[in-house]
Structure 1
């Protein structure tokens, strides 16, 4: 990540960024700006379209003068989202620069610095394969403010948040030729090593079999790379709330015997985006010293086609004893998440239980590519998570847990049908998972985040590829507790 610092009255010899409000209004800034620079900026803005709208940028070259380049960045209404959009736009406009100075408004709040820094860092992300040392950190950024001490803590919060998001993006972007369940478990363990208050354990296939994690074993049974269950915990010295986060971790999904077409498989390295998000958020909660106990459960498996793969029509016995008739092996994620949910309820006794899963493509039909679907019977919990998503710059929308659809899950040979092929597949998947939440049913929330876990092109603070969706939302929500 590129270096970003706050400072009072720094020099701006190379590139100066000035914030612009709607109506082409230049703010009064904490940095002294010469009259000629302001006059040139005003002239440029007079000719610009939508000047001041969040994420708009105008660039003026000033050869042989100081600063050498002037960047006018629209911040919209000046809320955190506007500053985040401005930061992302500036990041893409100054890729050739070595250093830039952003002159903040004299009355800028902490949320402005947070949004700006997050936008700069997030939009500057590029995935690199292991061994590729061609990455550049981007220009050094100095944020000019009146009182640097006032913003130091919020800048550090932004750094930790983005670092965790980029960790989730890296894990999700990694090709599945490298990323099997064992590799991913090792990466999580390595990231947790040496962090005070953080513990990690990994269940391998023999232990999963001995303890009865039938869903994880069934899905992972077709691969030569056996499944894992990672349990990562942050336990601060004092905490009054225990949250368990469960994340679907399918490192590659062929669909199994219910095999996907080729186009449906091309991006299936992203099918562990939920696991990446909950692990990264837990590690960041520890680094930020949030006073909330957090346990992350990441069931990891590779859903492959082979003689040992589970079949449509098989009955799977989950941890705790409930059984599922699996009529579609491409509906595999819910089987591994179900095991982890029961384990969380019976063994960890949390106060709140949340799962994130790239579960269905159906939510994209209803909500588009940028919005996750939220399901819960708990109004306060759903409102809090959706509010946190909005503050964090991610999008989520609550969907119904329709009581009439519960009958779709009826099976003649098992407790539940895992895949109800009667429409509303995102809703029925959520209803299925709810059956494994036991006494936590009224304190559970499910997020179907398949669509927003991936961006087909750079867009705002998103780079092409994995988005790390959910890390920022979870951290905002955990901080609110």
Structure 2
């Protein structure tokens, strides 16, 4: 709560004048500034409640409430329960931010529940209105989808095969109105010409073979169709161009884009947004095996574009190319957005928290950037510099999948642009390799997978549907 004004919330605890005076004096003594995410703890031995936590919300915007929620969840982690009191006139968007912060920061990935966290129950005391209930429902849908994306990304790759990932999508979508799932297996992919997805997955054992998952949400009366495409490399050795150990140890996160687009589509269905959404997750394990693709190989993508393989570790753009070409030819969307943990260059340019955004459309890029800012995620629009496009021209094929001139994130975006067809002006690409993972607990993020993109995409779909 803002510094110096605790009484509006604290009177809900039925504290007496002396207690309120104690709180006022404490806040003054600790010089509580009220800045977003700051927490000060007042111990109260032998009294109820035994501790009072005062959290700052900054300027009172949604982001400040999200930071406060996250800070409270961490401060109360050793408790069994937490009761959060907010001023009576708190706006619905503030409640959404608070709830998102509380839930997201409370997440911890575990393969079993043998050691649950002590904090098992959080109660938020606030007015019961339709607007507040709607805000909580929005927060719940987004957080549920984000945590699923985190779970999928955190899962070790000895368990996380393409087939396993596909089963999780089928399970998550079961019984949800408006949702359907199709899982395309290797025989179908071969018959239909998804040769890039097959080429990337060729080095893996048969039971770890590639898949293409199509999750569709089709509400009645929807006037727009959005296709979301996410890179789904369940583990990336680099193939023949093998990665060093330091670059390979976190490659279970290389399907973070696929997890995000699946999560956003599930959130759209849970919120019953009036917009048609299709998520495509091209899934493969880029393994080193007897039949792995080689530098110098030429593959023919779905739709006919040929690509010369110069680096087998530039595989994400290959599977995305197949899925994007399929989307343009068969699904005919109004807008297409792809997400991928695509290049190390993105992290070099923008660091750990900010994704690179590429688009020819000022309006689309602006809407996505606004959605990211509102949701608590960070993006920066990068140029699609035409001067570099000729670098992709191939000698043996239409294009090459890698070059040695640098500008790695830009060239990957230009490569993907080749598969946008008539959607070139209605397409956006997120390179989100670094933001997909957090090295420590940081605000609403917990150490490990972040589920980056679910919140941005869902917030954008909300505005698209409005």
> The TM-score by the shorter chain falls in which range?
over 0.9
Q: CA deviation digits over 1:38-68, x for unaligned, max 9?
A: 2222222223255311111111111222222
Q: CA deviation at 1:144?
A: 2.0
Once residues 326 and 455 of structure 1 are traced to their aligned partners in structure 2, the CA distance between those partners, rounded to angstroms, is 31
TM-score (normalizing by structure 2):
0.96
Once residues 403 and 48 of structure 1 are traced to their aligned partners in structure 2, the CA distance between those partners, rounded to angstroms, is 55
Once residues 109 and 136 of structure 1 are traced to their aligned partners in structure 2, the CA distance between those partners, rounded to angstroms, is 30
Q: Do structure 1's residue 71 and structure 2's residue 53 form an aligned pair?
A: yes
Equivalences for 1:228-243 in 2 at 5 Å?
A: 228-243=211-226
Q: 1:337 aligns with which of 301, 320, 344?
A: 320
| Residue matched to 2:163 | 182
Once residues 26 and 204 of structure 1 are traced to their aligned partners in structure 2, the CA distance between those partners, rounded to angstroms, is 59
Q: CA deviation at 1:25?
A: 4.5
Q: CA deviation at 1:262?
A: 0.4
TM-score (normalizing by structure 1):
0.93
Q: 1:105 aligns with which of 74, 87, 111?
A: 87
Q: CA deviation at 1:34?
A: 3.2
Equivalences for 1:55-454 in 2 at 5 Å?
A: 55-129=37-111, 131-136=112-117, 138-224=119-205, 225-454=208-437
Q: Do structure 1's residue 26 and structure 2's residue 6 form an aligned pair?
A: yes
Q: Secondary structure at the match of 2:203?
A: coil
Once residues 18 and 336 of structure 2 are traced to their aligned partners in structure 1, the CA distance between those partners, rounded to angstroms, is 58
Once residues 200 and 31 of structure 2 are traced to their aligned partners in structure 1, the CA distance between those partners, rounded to angstroms, is 53
Q: Which runs of 5+ in 1 are unaligned?
A: 1-18
Once residues 158 and 469 of structure 1 are traced to their aligned partners in structure 2, the CA distance between those partners, rounded to angstroms, is 16
Q: CA deviation at 1:149?
A: 4.2
Once residues 183 and 68 of structure 1 are traced to their aligned partners in structure 2, the CA distance between those partners, rounded to angstroms, is 46
Once residues 182 and 119 of structure 1 are traced to their aligned partners in structure 2, the CA distance between those partners, rounded to angstroms, is 33
Q: How many residues align?
A: 460
CA RMSD of aligned residues (A): 1.4
Once residues 23 and 293 of structure 2 are traced to their aligned partners in structure 1, the CA distance between those partners, rounded to angstroms, is 65
Q: Secondary structure at the match of 1:209?
A: helix
Once residues 159 and 359 of structure 2 are traced to their aligned partners in structure 1, the CA distance between those partners, rounded to angstroms, is 35
Once residues 385 and 70 of structure 2 are traced to their aligned partners in structure 1, the CA distance between those partners, rounded to angstroms, is 39
Tell me if the contact between 1:372 and 1:395 (Cα under 8 Å) persists in the aligned partners: yes
| Residue matched to 1:51 | 33
Once residues 172 and 411 of structure 1 are traced to their aligned partners in structure 2, the CA distance between those partners, rounded to angstroms, is 34
Q: Which runs of 5+ in 2 are unaligned?
A: none
Once residues 444 and 214 of structure 2 are traced to their aligned partners in structure 1, the CA distance between those partners, rounded to angstroms, is 30
After superposition, the Cα gap between the structure-2 partners of 1:106 and 1:238, relative to the gap in structure 1 and judged at 3 Å, is: same
Q: Secondary structure at the match of 2:246?
A: helix
Q: CA deviation at 1:455?
A: 0.1
| Residue matched to 1:10 | none
Q: CA deviation digits over 1:121-141, x for unaligned, max 9?
A: 000000011x44432472422
Q: Do structure 1's residue 466 and structure 2's residue 449 form an aligned pair?
A: yes
Q: Secondary structure at the match of 1:78?
A: coil
Tell me if the contact between 2:256 and 2:436 (Cα under 8 Å) persists in the aligned partners: yes
After superposition, the Cα gap between the structure-2 partners of 1:150 and 1:345, relative to the gap in structure 1 and judged at 3 Å, is: closer
